[in-house]
Amino acid sequence: MSGELCRATWAAAGVHQRARTLDEAFPECFCESWSLVAEAESPVGGDERLARILTTPGSYDAGELLTQKLTAAWAGGVSVIRSGASDAEIRGTVEQLLNNIQDPQSLLGAVVFTGSEVSTLGAPERHFGAYHTPAPNKTHHADILATVPAGSKSQQKRSETLRRRDLRDLLQPKIIFEPDVDGLIEKLRLEGL
């Protein structure tokens, strides 16, 4: 199989149903091995560094990451920047997050982690995968997507809550606090991004 079926499934899914649709069609993060952008693009590598830009109060408040933002892993994905992103792409991501007129935000910093740290969370089960995904004006973009837990709707909800907490607990100690975009870019480069 090539990544064509994975990309077609991703493209046909509703924006807020992409993670579930992909997992239902290709369980256990099967499509993680291919880029969901184009045949020529590479998938996220296990040792590849990824960064999630953090704003406050949207993604961080009262001294911790907010798990409500991580719920997107079961919908359209938790957006992250891949290694090799240009300064302009990082800057554009920050500006996009800060220019939310309805919910003003301040730059807090970022959390940096590897694809394999996310992929092995919950091992031997697969709870999350890191996928190279398309995003407007971004060439080094990925999403963290979750697998759908087994069980009834209420059991799934409980499992999702526990998995969100596990993801938060993985990311929380990796936060780089830096409220200045130029300072953040410099720190991200030092982290291998």
Average pLDDT, the chain: 93
Q: CA nearest 95: which of 37, 138, 63, 62?
A: 138
pLDDT of residue 41: 78
Coil, strand or helix at 76 = coil
Asked if 178 contacts 189 with a C-beta cutoff of 8 angstroms, the reply is no
> What value does the mean pLDDT take over residues 109-137?
95
Domain chopping of the chain, boundaries: 4-190
Residue-level pLDDT at 1: 58
Give yes or no for residue 179 having a pLDDT over 90.
yes
- Which residue shows structure tokens 């991200």? 188
* 3-class secondary-structure state, position 95: helix
Highest mean pLDDT among 57-61, 104-108, 175-179: 175-179
Average pLDDT rounded to a whole number, residues 61-74: 89
Q: What is the mean pLDDT of residues 154-174?
A: 95
* 155/103: higher pLDDT: 155
Give yes or no for residue 8 having a pLDDT over 70.
Answer: yes
